[in-house]
Amino acid sequence: MDLLNRRKDIKACEEIIKKNSLTFYKAFSKITNRRKREAVYAVYAFCRYADDLIDEDQDETGLNALEEELKHYIQGEKPQSFRFRALKQTTSHYYPKNYDYKPYFDMIKGQRMDLDFKGYQTEKELLEYCYDVAGTVGLMLLPILSETHDKELDAFAVNLGYAMQITNILRDIGEDERNGRIYLPEDAFRKANYSKDDLHHGKINIEFINMFESFAKKAEGYYEQALDDLKLFPDDVKLPLGLSIVLYRGIIDACRESNYDVFTKKNFVSEDKKNELIQSFLKSMK
3-state secondary structure of 184: coil
pLDDT value at 190 more than 90:
yes
Q: How far is CA 93 from CA 39, 46, 96, in A?
A: 9, 17, 8
Note the pLDDT tens digit of each residue in 51-83: 999 988 889 999 999 999 999 999 999 998 999
Q: State the chain's mean pLDDT as an integer.
A: 95
Contacts 24+ apart (CB under 8 A), 153-156: 153/232, 153/233, 155/229, 156/225, 156/226, 156/229, 156/232
Note the pLDDT tens digit of each residue in 104-149: 999 999 999 998 899 999 999 999 999 999 999 999 999 999 998 8
Task: List the domains of the chain with CATH numbers.
Answer: 1-116 (1.10.600.10), 119-286 (1.10.600.10)
Average pLDDT over residues 172-180: 96
pTM, rounded to two decimals: 0.95
